[in-house]
Structure 1
Amino acid sequence: MRCKVLIYVILLTHKHVSPTEIQASPNTNATLPCNVTSPLFVKGVKIDKSLIKVSWISNGSDFASFSNAAMQIKDGFGWDTRDFNNGDFSLTILRADLDLQGVYECTVSYNSTMLHSSNVTFSILASPTLSIPQQWVVLETESQLKCHADGFYPPPVSFSWTRDGQVIQPPYHVEGEQTPDGSYMAVGNLTFYASREDKNVTFGCKVSHNGNYQELDFQLNITYLPSVRLSVMPSSSNDIPLTLYCDVESFYPEEVSVSWLQNGTVVPEPPTTEQNPDGTYTTRRYYTLSPEQREQGGKVECAVNQPGVVHLVSGSAYLEKVDPQDEPPVLTKSAKASVALMCISLVLVFLLCFGFSWRRRDEKQKSLSVSGIILPPRVIVGHKGRVTVSIEGRRVDQVQTAWFLNDTPISDTSPTGTSKANFNCLYNPLTTIHLPYGLTLTSPVSEKGPLLPSRGEMGYYKLHTQGPLHSSGSGTQQLISSLTFIPQISVHKGAVFKCQVSYVGKDKIVVERVSERFTILSAPEVSEIQLEETPNDSDVISLTVRASHFHPDVITFRWFCQGSELSPVASQASSSPRPNSEGFFSAFSQCKLPRSELEKGGTKVWVSVHHIALKQPVTRETRGFIKRPCVSEIVSSTSFPDQTLTLGCEITDFHPPNISVTWLKLRAGEQDDREEEVIEGGELWGPIQAPDPRLYRATAILKRRATNQEKKERGGGIICRVEHCCLLEPIERHWRNVDIVAPSIPPSISVCWSSEGVGVFSLLLKGGHPKVKLLWAVGGSTLSPLVSNETEEIGDDGQRELKSVCALERSTSLPSQTSKQLERQKNGHAIKTKAAVTDPDAEGIEYIDEKVDGENNNIDSDEETKSEVDDDSDKEGEEDPGALHINRVNLRTGPRENERARLRVCVEITHPALKLPVYRTWTEPNEEISSSA
C-alpha cells in the first residue's frame, strides 16, 4: 500500500510552464491559456472536481477561482468548467481593454497537491488612425505639415514622409501623449519649402506601429503670395470723397479677400479678379474715403488674406504724402459752381448709401451659416455612404445646393429623384441623427431606393434634401443637404466632395465647402487553406492561403499550430504591392509543415488575416493528412448492339476523399481543340479505401451514344477533369474521338490508253477513316515506285471518295529528248488530274516531260525486265498544281531480240483497320506484247 501512495505522489509532481505573452485588439475576446499535462486528465475519464482547486490572480486581485466544485468569477471574464476534465483551465477575457493589461498567474492543485503554475502576460495592441488636417502651404516659404496618429497602443509610433513614392524624411520615433481613454496620440511634423513643381504631386505620411505600416496620401494646396500696391485717384478738392485703389497681382488661388484698414479699423470691399496668362490672378480694389476720413489722415493699409497664410501681405501709404492738404482757396464763380455740383453729388451719395443700407438689411436676413462637409466614419467599397451639409438661416427656403466630385458636377440619377429644385422636402418617415458641432440630420428611416449610374459614369449617387426645418430661438430655419454614394476605387480614391450653396435664380455662389480626402476600404476575400506536396521534398506539405480584392494594401497573415505561432516561409503581403486594373490588391502567405505532423490527422493549423477594413480578423483552418491524386489515361470500350461508348478514368492514392470529376466535350479544330460544353451523366464509383487505409481510390465513368453530327465530324474529343483540395490547378486527361473504319476497295484497277501511248490507271475508294495510304509501282519481275495524284470529294451518298490516278508512258529505248518531247515542251500543256480520272479516253491529252531519275531507272543488266521513271522538267507542274504527273517507263528486251517482259502495274493499299495491306494489280496481255514486238 505504501508503494502505491508513493507512485501517486510522483505522478502529481508540480510542473512549471514558461510565461506566455498574449496580445489582443481593444473590445475583442482573448484567451489566457492554462493547460495541465498529467495522467489525471485523460480524455474520456472523469475526475472528482471537488478535489480540484484553480485560481487566477493578477496584481494581488483574484479574478477567478474554483474550489470544492464551486466557481467564482468576476464580470468581464469567461470560464468553461467542462474543459477541466481535459486539463484545460484557460480563462477568457470578454471585450479586452487597457485596464485589464498585466501579468496573470494560474495555479492548479488536486487534493491539496500543486500540479501547475504559469504566468500569462496580457497586453493591448491598437493600430493608429491617420489624418492630416492642414494641407495649405505658401510658395517658397517655410511650411509645417502635421500628420496625426490617434488611438494607438502601445507607444511609440514611427513617422516618415514621401513625395511621389520617394522618401523625403526618414523614419523617426514619437512616443506620443496619452488620451483620457488610455490610448495614445502622436503628431509627425514635416518642415519644407514648397515650389511650383510640388503642385499636383502626391505626398504621403507613412506611420509604422509594431511592425504594421499605414500610409495616407494627399496633395498640397499651394498659395502664391501677391504683390500689393496702394494708389490714390486724383482729386480736385479736399472736401470731396477720396478714392483709393489697391493692385493685387500674381497670386493663387483665385479665392482671395481684400480688407481695408485705416489706423487699424477694417472696412470691407467686394472683389473683382482677372486671370493672368501664367495662371495667376490680378485684381484692383477701390475704396473711397469720406472728407472726415481724409481730414483724419494717418496711415492707410491694403491687407490681403489667403488660405494657409499666417502673416498677411499688405501695402501702405500715408495720406499726408499721397493726399497733401492745400490751403483753402478763394472761391471763384467756377469754384462755386463746382461746390453746387458737389452738393448734388453728396445728395446722390446719400441716396446710394440709403439704398446700400437697405440692401445690407435684406442681405442680413439672407445670411447663412453653413457647416463643413460631414463624411461617413468608414467608406467601404460597394456599401452606401453619405456626406452631409447643414445650412441655417432666415431664408433657407430660397437656398439651393450643387454637389461636385472634385470639379465634376454630380446629378441625381435615382428614378425617385424629384424634378423640382433639390431643396424640396421629402415626405417620407424621418428620423433624427445627432451630428458633431451640435448639428442634427433628419433622414428617411430606411434607404432602399435603387441607385443608378449618373451621367459621365462617375458612379452611383442619390441626392437628398430635408427642410426647411424650424429651429428654436431667433426664427432661423435649418436645411439638410446630403448625398448618398457607393464608393468605387477607380472613381473616389484621393477625391474630395464639394458643395456649393446659392440662392434660387442667382448665379453667385454664397458659400462653398470642400471635404477632406477619405480612405476607401475593401475587406479581403480569403480563400480556404490550400495544401500541396512540395515538389522537391515529398515529406513537407505546403499550406497556402490567398487574400484578394482588398484595399488599402496593408494586410497581415498570422499562422498558428496548436497554440503556437508559425513563421511563414513565403508571403506576398508587402506594404506596396501593385494593384490590378480595378485598383484592388491581392496577396498570399504560405507556411510548411512536416508530412508526419499532418498524417496524424489531429494537428490543427489555422491562419488569421488582419486588415483595416475588417472589424474582426478572418480565420481559416485545416486539420489532417492530404495526398495528391494520381489520374490514369482515359480507356474506352464500345458495347454492341446499341453502340454505347464507355469511357473510364482511374483516380488513385488521394486524401481526403472529397474529389470532383467533370466531363467536357471538345470541338474539333485543325490546330487545337476548344472546350465547348459540359457532358451530363458521368458517374463516380467510390471513393473507397485503398490497401493503405489513409488513401482512397475512385473510378470516373461516362456512358454515351455518339450523335449523328459527331459521327460526321469524327474529330474533337472528351476531357476528364479532376479537382481536389490539394490541387492548385485541376488534372485533365484527353480522349480523342477517332473511329477506325476500313474503306470500300474495288476488285480491280481501271486503265485507259490514249492515242499518244499514255496509260491512265485509276482506283476509286469509298468511305473509311482515317485516310488510306496508296503506293503505285510498275515493272516486270521487280517493281519501281511511281508518282500518283489523289483527289478527295464527298459523294452523293455522303461518303468520302478518294480517287487515285497514275499516268504511265512506256518505251523500249533509252530516254532521250525526241522531237515529240520538244513539241510537248513547246505546247506547254499538261494532263489535268480530274479530267484523266473522269474521262481517260478524251482527245487532246497532252504531256509533261519529266527529268530522268538515274537512281530509280537503272536496273542490273542481268535482270529480265528493266523499268525506268524519267523526269525531264517540273516547271509546268509547278505552274499548274492540278497537272497529272506522267511516269515514263523503259522496258528493255530480254536475251532474245523478239522477247519483252510483260508490263505489270500494282497499287498497295494500307489502312489501320486492315491487318495486312491490300494489293490490286494490272498485267499487260500477251497480244499487246506480240503486237508491240
Structure 2
Amino acid sequence: MATVGGQMDAWALRLGGLLLPLLFLGTAGSQLQVTTAPSSTARMGSGVLLQCRFDVGGPVALDSLWVTWYFWEEKVAWYEQGRRKELPRASLPLEKELESGDASLLLAVVTVSDEGLYRCVVGYRTQQHHGETILHLLAAPTISIPRKPVVADAETSLLCHVGRFYPKDVDVAWLRDGQVLKGFTRSSPQRNTHGTFNLTLTYTFTPAHSDSSSIFSCHVRHAALEQPIQEDVTLDILAGDQTGAVVGAVLGILIGAGATVAAAIYFWRKRKKGWAVSYNVPKVQGPDRCLLGQEVTLRCSMEGTFPEDVAVTWERIHSEDRTVPESAGDQESPEHQPLLPALPLGWRVTEERAGTHLTSSLTFTPTLQDDGARVRCVFLHEAERIREERVSPEIRVWARPQVSEIQVLPEWDPRDKVPFAVQLHNFYPREVPPIQWGWDGAGSWREDPTQIDKNADGTFTATSVWRVPSRSLTQPELRVRVCVQHGPGEPASERELSLRAAGLLRPPDVSKISQTEATATGKGVTLSCRITGHFPGELSVTWLRRRKGEATAVILRDGAECRVEPGTAVLARDGKSFQQETRLTCWTSRDKGAEYICRVGHLTLQTPIERSSTCHPHPLDQEVVSQPQALVPLQRVTTQPLPSGSYTKKLAIIPIKKRARKKENIHVESSDPHRMHTPAPSPVPDGKSYSVESELRLPPAGPEDDGVEYLCRVQHEAMQEPESRSSGRLRV
C-alpha cells in the first residue's frame, strides 16, 4: 500500500530538483525546450513524480504559458494563464515552480491502471514542444506457506503461495537445505481485482522421518525486490501407526456419539512418556495499529488436547529490548528465557476456556511509551513440561491529528499570494499524513507542511500553508478546501473556508473627482478619481455625463468627445488590497456646465458608489484672428486668421465672398476659381495652444469684382458663435 514516505519522497524530488537522467526533446534552434525522463518507475500504492522541465530562454511569463499532461490520449492535468484543472490524484506544480521551469506531474497512490505513456506538452507564446515518459509499476511479492503436520511414508504436498506481485514475471523455486528441488510445479499467474498476480508453487513427495531435520524453503526473485526473499519451513512428521491410532480413537468416539466428521484435523505433537499431547498455539492476534488513548485487546489461544491446569501469563517487552526474536518461544528453553517485568498498571488479562480451546486476552490503553514494544504470551504447565510462548509483532501506536479550521495568515509573502493555513495538532508518529488543498472549480495540490514541532507529550504539531494568487480570488462564495488523509480505512478530515468567511472581502474607498488644467500638449481637460482599499481587485468603472437641465445621465465611451480610461488594479504595498486610478479626458466644451459622474461597482457593494464633478474646459482666445492684409486688384493676396489658445486642433476656416448690392453670401469652395489653402494647425511657442495661417488666393479682379468683400469665418468648439474678419471692399 501507499506510504506517506513515498509521497513525500516524490515532493522531495520536485523541491530539491533531483532529476532523473533526462532525454532532450526540444527542437534545435528553438527558444522553447522541453526535457523529460525516458521512463519512470513507481511502487503500487505510492506516489510518483513524472519529471518535465522546460526552458524559454529567459524569465517565464505565466500569462504566456500553458502546460498539458496526457495519459495516452486522455488529459489528466492542465494549466493556462492562472487557471488549472486536474483529475483526482494528479497535481501540477505551484506557479512559483512553473516560473522556474518545472512542469512535473505528481501522481498520488498509483495503481496498475496508471501504468503507460505520459506526454508533457508545454506551450509558450507561439511555440509548443512536448516530451514523453513511460511509467512502469512494481509490486513486491509476498510468501505464505500453510503449516500442517505430515505423516511419514504418506504422499504429501508442500504449498507456497506467492501473491500480490507485479509485473507477472517472477522466478520461484522450492529449495531443500539450500539446493533447488526437482519436480515442483507452479500454477499460471492469476490476476487479482487490483491488477497484481498470485501463483502457487507445489512440491509433492513422500516424507521419511529423516526429512524432519531438513529445511524446506520457498525462494522468490522479482523485479520489485532488491534481493530475493524466501520463507523456510521444517516438517513435523508423525509416525504412521501413532497417527492412525490417535485419529482412529477420535473417529471412534465421534462415530459412537453419532457425530459427523466435517473437516480435517491437524495436530502439533509434543511427546511425554510415550503418549501424545496434541495442541496448536497460533500467533498473537491483534490490530496492526493501536490508536493512542483507545483501548485495544490482544489475544493468544491454545487449541487441541492439553492439561486443564495450563497457566497463561503475559509479559511486556520494552521497545528498547530488541534482542528477543519473534520466534523465541519455539527456540529457547525455559531456563534461558530473560526475566521480564510485570505488566504495567492498568493492563488486564482475561481467560476463556471452552472444551479444547483456551483463549487469553490482554486489554490495555496504549501510550507513546508502548510504541515499538512487544508482548509475550506464555502457556505453562510445569508437570507436563509444557512451555509455549508467542511474541507479538511490535505495537505501533498512532494518534489521529486534530485538524484546525482554515485561517488566513497575517503576513503575506510573497505579497501577491494569499496564505491559507491549517494546523495538525497532536499526531503521532512524526510522518505527516497526506494533505490535499483545492478550491471550487479547480483541481487539488499536495502541500508539505512548512513546519513540524514536537509537543511536550511526545506528539507532533504541523502547519501546512497553501498560497493562492490574489488575482485568482474573484468570487465571494469561492471556497478553499483542505483534506487530510489519516490512513487506510480511516475517514479523512476536511475543512473549507469561503472568501466571505475569511474576512478578505473589502469594499473600495472612492475619492472625490479632481480636475487638471489644460495639458501642455493640448490633450484636453482630465477628470480623475482614485479607488483604494478593495479586495478582490476586480471592479467596474463607468463614466457618465448629465447635461445641464437634463434628468438622465448617459454613459460615456471613447470617441470624438472624450477618452475613458478605467485604470488597472495594482496591489497595495502589504498585498491585502488593490488600488487603481480612473480618468476621463474631455475633448469638447459644448457641454459647459454639464455634470460628470464616476460610478464604481464592486462585489462587496449592493449599490455602486458615485462621485460627480462639473468639467470646465479651457476656452479659446477669440480675439486673435487677424485682419486680412490689404487686397490689391489683379494680385494674389493672403488673409491670416491666427486663432490661438485652443486645446484641440479641430478648427474650421471658411472663406466667404460677398458681392456688392447683393444679400447672399457665397462660400468659396474648392471648385471655385478662387483657391484656398489652410495647413494643419501647429503649436505656438508657449506650447499651450495651436495656431493656423490660411491663404486665400484671388484671381485677377475684373469689373464684376468691384465692391466685393471677402470674409474669413472661424468655427471652433470652444466658441459659442463663429467669428468673422473682413478684407474690406475691393475697388477695381
What TM-score do the two structures reach when normalised by structure 2?
A: 0.37
Greater relative contact order, per chain length (Cα 8 Å cut-off, separation 6+): 2
Structure with the greater alpha carbon radius of gyration: 1
TM-score of the pair, normalised by structure 1: 0.29
